[in-house]
Amino acid sequence: MVKLFAVLFLFFISGCGRDLSDRVVLRFWHGIESPENNRLLEKKVRLFEKRNPDIKIELENIGAQDRAMPRIMTALSADRQPDLLWFAPVYTGRIAESGKLVPAEKFIEKDTGFDPSFIYEGILDSGRYNGIIYTVPFETNCLAVYYNKDHFEEAGITELPRTWEDLREAAITITEHSAESDRIERFGMLIPLGTEEWTVWTWQTFLWQAGGDILDDTMTEVRFDREPGIRALQYWSDLVHKYECAVLSERNAGYKLDPFLAGRVSMMINGPWIYPVLQQQDAVNYGSFPLPRDKTRATNIGGENLYIFKSTPTKEAAAWEFAKFIMSEDFQIEWAINTGYLPVNRRAAESAEYRQFLEENPFIKTFVDSMDFGRSRPPVKEYSRISDRIGRAVESALYLRVSPGEALRKAAQEAEDLL
């Protein structure tokens, strides 16, 4: 009996007959900021490793996406890229041009056990460049308006804004001046400031609402400097400077909740992924509503995709196993319910568990319903450089250095050169 126990013990400590040092190690870069979401990611990664004992995932947080791109491009130039990357799909083209991405389509075509029909087609297409699917969706989201319910009630606003005019009037009504001076103690709206992608991504929704677009349908002609673009940027500028009912955010931090949670602003544009943070605070009685319309309704579809970089056949195969795990129904249900992101898997979105979650969380339902009029940024490799020019134009106009028209026309000339 003692001898049998000794044999079993040796078998156990040897990893059930496996040397765990032989495991495939995948470096996974991501920029998830929420502590709650990071903890959930860690939990799910450990579950994947338990199910796949031959694979180990090393997580590394590389910070906000707006500032991570230089590090990624430097890593690609030095051939020191990670094995996996969590990043916005709009950069698929630029990163694919490096020649260091493994097209996800290669795995999709060969893996008979993977059914891509359960992934929403429009979201799967977000990772397509030059007709090839390079990246696959990790999660999706869109933009809507957060609002302070108590501020709305105090101001006597009983109907949520549906149009630009409604939004402006609500912001004016809620804005509160100091009794002792002309200083404004509370603004109705927060307007993103800065040259980085968050500002552009948010402003683009207003460009679409006004009937405009960044590029034409052929992706070869610049369109954002035309009347709809000027109208959209003038609208932002007027809220801040003419009506004084909106305040500019901290530079390149229009997504930060601090002004909203402190009660200094009553409305801000943001996504569903910060829902866990909102749930854990009790300073603000919050709600959400879809972005108001001008000529049409529009929101910007976001989210992140999973990039698989070239390495070895063994590592690439292991990376694909992780990608399938991420897109699975079980992962997507738990990730969506606990993070506020929206599921990319049709089965997850239609599950009884997720439908029950939406009934109990109308804040998130706003974003799910907004996906019906969501649009995506142009999937061109030059997008990040075009976005930089637009960001500079928006900032210049909001600082009143030049008019919206002048700012956008200058940016458009530079964008034309890039195309």
Q: What are phi and psi of 146, to 5 degrees?
A: -85, 145
Contact present, 383 and 93 (Cβ < 8 Å): yes
Q: Domain for residue 9, yes or no?
A: no
Q: Which of these, 234, 233, 269, 279, lies nearest to 249 by C-alpha position?
A: 269
Q: Domain for residue 116, yes or no?
A: yes
Q: Is the pLDDT of residue 291 over 80?
A: yes
Q: How confident is the model at residue 34 (pLDDT cuts 50, 70, 90)?
A: confident
Provide the domain count of the chain. 2
* 44, 94, 144, 148, 164 from 21: Cα distances, Å: 21, 35, 47, 53, 59
Cα 306 to chain center, whole Å? 13
pLDDT, tens digit (0-9, with 9 covering 90-100), for 383-408:
989 999 999 999 999 999 999 999 99
In this predicted structure, what is the pLDDT of residue 20? Answer: 53
Question: Do residues 114 and 181 both lie within one domain?
Answer: no
- Measured CA to CA, the distance from residue 398 to residue 279 in angstroms comes to 32
Q: Is the pLDDT of residue 134 over 90?
A: yes
Q: Domain for residue 185, yes or no?
A: yes
Question: Do residues 227 and 85 both lie within one domain?
Answer: no
Q: Is the pTM of this model over 0.85?
A: no
297 secondary structure, DSSP code:
-
Tell me which residue range forms the domain holding 188: 144-301+378-418
Q: Domain for residue 169, yes or no?
A: yes
CA dihedral 340, 351, 365, 214 (to 10 degrees): 70
Burial class, 356, CB count within 10 angstroms (exposed 0-12 / middle 13-18 / buried 19+): exposed
- Measured CA to CA, the distance from residue 81 to residue 144 in angstroms comes to 34
Q: Which of these, 251, 276, 207, lies nearest to 396 by C-alpha position?
A: 251
* Amino acid identity for residue 155 in this structure: A
Question: Do residues 339 and 388 both lie within one domain?
Answer: no
In this predicted structure, what is the pLDDT of residue 21? Answer: 63
Q: Domain for residue 7, yes or no?
A: no
In this predicted structure, what is the pLDDT of residue 242? Answer: 98
Question: Do residues 120 and 232 both lie within one domain?
Answer: no
Question: Do residues 341 and 256 both lie within one domain?
Answer: no
Q: What are phi and psi of 367, to 5 degrees?
A: -70, -40
**What's the chain's average pLDDT?**
92
Q: Domain for residue 4, yes or no?
A: no
Question: Do residues 212 and 164 both lie within one domain?
Answer: yes
Question: Do residues 287 and 335 both lie within one domain?
Answer: no
Question: Do residues 159 and 105 both lie within one domain?
Answer: no
Question: Do residues 83 and 219 both lie within one domain?
Answer: no
Q: Domain for residue 117, yes or no?
A: yes
More confidently predicted of 4 and 356: 356
Question: Do residues 178 and 288 both lie within one domain?
Answer: yes
- Measured CA to CA, the distance from residue 230 to residue 249 in angstroms comes to 21
| Number of neighbours of residue 217 by Cβ within 10 angstroms | 9
Q: Could you identify the residue written with the tokens 């801040």?
A: 240
- Measured CA to CA, the distance from residue 222 to residue 308 in angstroms comes to 31
DSSP string, 77-122: HTT---SEEEE-GGGHHHHHTTT-BPPHHHHHHH-TT--GGGB-HH
Q: Domain for residue 179, yes or no?
A: yes
In this predicted structure, what is the pLDDT of residue 14? Answer: 42
Question: Do residues 157 and 265 both lie within one domain?
Answer: yes
Question: Do residues 244 and 193 both lie within one domain?
Answer: yes
pLDDT, tens digit (0-9, with 9 covering 90-100), for 361-382:
999 999 999 988 999 888 788 8
In this predicted structure, what is the pLDDT of residue 205? Answer: 97
Tell me, what CATH number does 184's domain have? 3.40.190.10
